Amino acid sequence: MKIPGDAVDPTLPKFVTEYATHETTFHGITTDPGDNYGIWDVTEVFPYYATMNRQPYAVRCYENTLGLLNGGSNVPFIWQAIDEPTEVNPPGYGGSKRKAWGLLDLWGDPKPVYGALKTLYPKIPVGSMVVTSPNQGSNITYAGAYSYHNRIVVGIANELSSAQINTVTLTNAPEDLRIVEALGFEPLYWGDTANGEPDIGQEVARALTLNTISSTSYWVEAELPGDSTLTIILTVKPDFNADGIVDIEDLSTMATDWLQGGSSADIAPAGGDGTIDSLDFGLLAKHWMY
């Protein structure tokens, strides 16, 4: 992303106060942008099938979020929370109430873009650092990775209409890494442009396998359906609350289940041995306060 201020002084901080995408054509279908939304009155909004209600738009905004973070942005901030019927275009643009850039519609229902960003925004802790991102030029999907102590968040966006298989490789990562959760946001229903229906997306919990290359290198393979995103959250095994740091809260979890079985604190040896004992405590101590 090029920021005009760089031409004046590239050393100065830049503030991007809002972002999304102005793309209105996806897979050969063009829909109205948020500034030309249709006719609003007391009883109806028509046509309601605007670009912001499309699943591909949601994926592009997710992808742009990764791009901004990869470029060094501190905080992603997308405008606006909800469609606002009091926003009126200037007379030269029709003078009607047509703006609709919100994450939620007039009735407070989430658009696909809300669902996609919800799987990413809350997962990246404040203070995270950008992990060296791959060369995106040759990729058919876009990715980004961010770390906070032992917590690693990987985001992948597939804006193609066909499914794509992606392999994520992590090198120089923490030892004893595990996948906490993998959240996909995928299309559930495609709205009909003829009667103004919006698309509907859904959050999907994915089961992924983390494969070990060495003690600090891993790889994971995931297939993303067309027009979907995937957020993968990882941390070390003793980080039971997945906040990125092994501390007193994790020790308390282990102490509560001490000498018991069937607990998430059964982390050693690999796969667990049915009881919480000194082996598990040793793995926790290995990662203590980092």
Query: Are the beta carbons of 116 and 129 closer than 8 angstroms?
Result: no
10-residue mean pLDDT profile of the chain (290 residues): values are: 62 75 89 68 56 93 92 80 67 59 85 96 93 67 93 96 93 94 97 78 97 95 96 97 95 93 89 92 92
Residues 136 and 264 both lie in one domain: no
Domain that holds residue 277: 248-286
- 87 assigned to some structural domain: yes
Determine how β-strand 228-236 pairs with β-strand 151-158: antiparallel
Model pTM above 0.85: yes
Whether 227 and 261 share a structural domain: no
C-alpha distances out from residue 85 to 51, 53, 101, 107, 208, Å: 17, 16, 11, 11, 43
Q: 201 and 260: one domain?
A: no
Domain count for the chain: 2
Q: How far apart are CA 25 and CA 20, in angstroms?
A: 14
Residue 127: inside a domain: yes
Residues 130-151: pLDDT tens digits?
Answer: 997 666 655 678 999 999 999 9
257 plus 224 within the same structural domain: no
**pLDDT digits 0-9 by tens, 1-20:** 455 556 667 777 766 677 88
Are residues 141 and 269 located together in one domain of the fold? no
Residue 91 — φ and ψ, nearest 5°?
-55, -35
Domain of 134, CATH number, reads: 3.20.20
Q: How many whole angstroms separate alpha carbon 49 and alpha carbon 110?
A: 14
Q: For residue 183, report the phi and psi dihedrals to the nearest 5 degrees.
A: -110, 115
How far apart are alpha carbons 123 and 125 in whole angstroms? Answer: 6
